Amino acid sequence: MKNTSTETTIPNDIFSKDYIIGNVGTPFIIGFAVGYFAKKMLFITVLLCGALIVLLFISEFFNITHINDANLQHAVDSATDAAKQSGNFLVNRLSTITSKGVSATGGFIVGFKLG
C-alpha cells in the first residue's frame, strides 16, 4: 500500500533557492507591479483632472460657467483623501501576502518610485 500524504514540507534552510523565491522574490515582483501600475494610473488621473480644471477656467473666462474657489478646493481635497485611502489599501493588502509583508511592500515602494 502506498502512502499518499499531501503534507507540504517546509524547508529548514531559509537561504535555499525555493524559500527565497517563494517568500521574498515573488511577493517583491507582485508589489513592484502593483506599485508601478498605481503610479502610472495616478499620473493619468492627475493629468485628466488638470485638463478638466483648465477647461473649467477657460469656460469661466468666456462667461460660460462660474467657479467657486472654495468648492474647487473642497473637490481637490476629497480627491486627495481618496487617493491616500487607495494607497493605504494597496499597501495593507500587499502586506498580507507573506508573513511579514516586507517583501511585497518594499516591491510596491520601489515600483512606485520607478513608475
Cα–Cα distance for residue pair 41/37, rounded to 1 Å: 6
In a domain, 77, yes or no: yes
In a domain, 2, yes or no: no
Give me the pLDDT at residue 9, please: 52
Residue 11 pLDDT exceeds 60: no
In a domain, 5, yes or no: no
Q: Can you give the residue range of the structural domain that contains 31?
A: 23-114
Q: How many domains does the structure of the chain reveal?
A: 1
Cell numbers given for 4: 499518499
Q: Percent of the chain, pLDDT > 90?
A: 36
Do 42 and 108 contact (CB within 8 A), yes or no?
A: no
Mean pLDDT of the chain: 82
In a domain, 13, yes or no: no
Residue 10 pLDDT exceeds 80: no
- Cβ burial 29-43 (10 Å sphere, 16+ → b, else e): ebbbebbbebbeeee
Give me the pLDDT at residue 97, please: 78
In a domain, 9, yes or no: no
Provide mean pLDDT across the span 45-49.
92
